[in-house]
Amino acid sequence: FANAEEASTTFTVPAAHVTVTAHFTPSYSERTLRDPSTGVTVRGSFTEDAMLNVKSGTLHTGDDDSACATIRAYGKDNGGPLLLYDIRLSAGEVQGEVDVTIPVGVGYNGRTATVMHCHRRELEHIKVPVENGAVTGTFGGLSPFAVFVPGGSDGRGNSRSTGSGVQTGDPVELVSAALIMLASLAVCASMVFSRKRRCAKRHR
């Protein structure tokens, strides 16, 4: 080959039959991929054709997968995961570690989340604060991710979020309920007082 290390090269074909095998090395670049349906983003070194695919996931099964078994056991002791996603590529390749951001809702801001990841049947386990309604961590790759937030599950893995970013039982809801009760009492008291005044006028 005239320039074997370059992307293109030339060579002289010998008289005898030969077999030429080309080996292509993928080209990687730093990119951020986002899943529009869940808002999950992954930043890392991807090939140009990489496409992110996020689905509500299930953990791996089998006795040889101790990582997913540990996640299941943790869920039983801590009320189940708030979110369980199978995050992977539907096309392309990734190289090295990735930064994964998973939205959980602004109602959980300030709480400490536990993120567990089954990476090639090895457990990755981090604790991170919820900031701007999301958790972010660096992991060895992609596959199932489970997110646990204190007070974020009903025990069956279902979020208690109201959908507006405020959780059931949060101080905002309690204050609103108290104000409504006070307003109702004020209306009732006003009606009773008005009725007493009318009765007093009739007996004069």
**Out of 32-41, 139-148, 164-173, least confident range:** 164-173
**Mode of pairing for the β-strands spanning 122-129 and 51-56:** unpaired
126-148 pLDDT tens trace: 999 999 999 999 999 999 999 99
Closest C-alpha among 87, 133, 93 to residue 110: 133
Residue carrying the six token digits 């979110």 = 83
pLDDT for the residue numbered 79: 85
pLDDT of residue 25 exceeding 70, the answer is: yes
pTM of model > 0.85: no
Overall average pLDDT of the 184-200 stretch: 62
Q: Which two tokens stand for residue 17?
A: 């039959």
Q: In this predicted structure, what is the pLDDT of residue 162?
A: 31
Identify which has the larger pLDDT, 13 or 175.
13
Other C-beta atoms within 10 Å of 75: how many?
A: 19
Is the pLDDT score of 199 beyond 60?
A: no
* pLDDT for 172 beyond 90: no
Average pLDDT, the chain: 79
Residues 11 and 81: their CA atoms lie apart, in Å, by 59
Dihedral (CA of 102, 106, 109, 111) sign: negative
